[in-house]
Amino acid sequence: MRLAIDLDGVVADFHKGWITRYNDDFNTTIPVDAVTVWDGLHLLTHFESMREFWRWAEGGDRSSIFRGLTTYADAVESLNALSRDHKIVIVTQKPRWAVHDTFAWLSDNRIPTTEVHITHDKAGVSADVYLDDAPHHLVAIRDRRPDAHVVRMVRPWNAPLAGVHDAHSWPEFVEIVKSLAAAR
């Protein structure tokens, strides 16, 4: 099967990455688990808007925040295991300035894929199974890809959706995929 896998919030711990850098840059102590809403990161910072947040995140004279993110527990091992029987397709949304850092990050973390889509239209990429954490992407994929299986990586910033499977961890996602493959 084709598995469309999101990066930030699913494979890469985006919030730990930006919060760690922000705390270092501005001598603050935002806790890593402070993010509970989608698209409201600036509310935890001194930035007036998400536009200001993203300008800082771009990095200026250093790499963007996307370059140094850590992976979630079991993510790379699970992707490697899944890649033995399935095609891993990375489908992620990024600002244009983050594209090079994203490809470098994929290489550094040895993510097992030969296909990468950096797009705002994740539902436009064909797959049998989608794994995402973004509420708006989950709805769009579910609505536009009724024959596909959509899986929500459960995070504090998303809520259950009708017709969408829930995975609380990478091992749980692997089991979902095994079950779907066995049912084919």
CATH number at residue 88: 3.40.50.1000
pLDDT digits (tens, 9 = 90+) for 63-96: 999 999 999 999 999 999 999 999 999 999 999 9
What is the per-residue DSSP string for 48-113?
Answer: SSHHHHHHHHT-TTS--GGGGPPBPTTHHHHHHHHHTTSEEEEEE---GGGHHHHHHHHHHTT---
* Shared-domain flag, residues 170 and 84: yes
Could you tell me if 88 and 113 are in contact, meaning their C-beta atoms sit under 8 angstroms apart? yes
pLDDT of residue 9: 96
Whether residue 103 is predicted with pLDDT greater than 90 in this model: the reply is: yes
Boundary residue ending a domain (41, 68, 95): 68
φ, ψ (nearest 5 deg) of residue 78? -65, -45
pLDDT of 2: 98
Shared-domain flag, residues 109 and 172: yes
Please check whether residues 62 and 101 belong to one and the same domain: no
Distances (CA, A) of 144 to 77, 123, 129: 30, 6, 13
Looking at the fold, whether 176 and 85 belong to one and the same domain comes out as yes
The answer to whether residues 88 and 43 belong to one domain is no
- Asked if residue 51 and residue 75 are part of one domain, the reply reads no
Check whether residue 102 and residue 138 sit in a common domain: yes
Measured between alpha carbons, how far is 8 from 92 in angstroms, rounded to an integer? 8
Summarised one tens digit per residue, pLDDT across range 12-26 is: 999 999 999 999 999
pLDDT score of 39: 82
- For residues 40 and 28, membership in a common domain is answered with yes
Q: State whether 75 and 93 are in the same domain.
A: yes
pLDDT band at 62 (very low <50, low <70, confident <90, very high): very high
Q: Does one domain contain both 54 and 6?
A: no
**Which of 68, 87, 105 is the last residue in one of the domains?**
68
Q: How many domains does the chain have?
A: 2
pLDDT digits (tens, 9 = 90+) for 35-54: 998 888 898 999 999 999 99
Q: What is the mean pLDDT of the chain?
A: 96
The 10s digit of each residue's pLDDT in 126-169 is: 999 999 999 999 999 999 999 999 999 999 999 999 999 999 99
Domain carrying residue 93: 2-13+69-182
Residue 38, pLDDT score: 86
In terms of domains, do 95 and 159 share one? yes
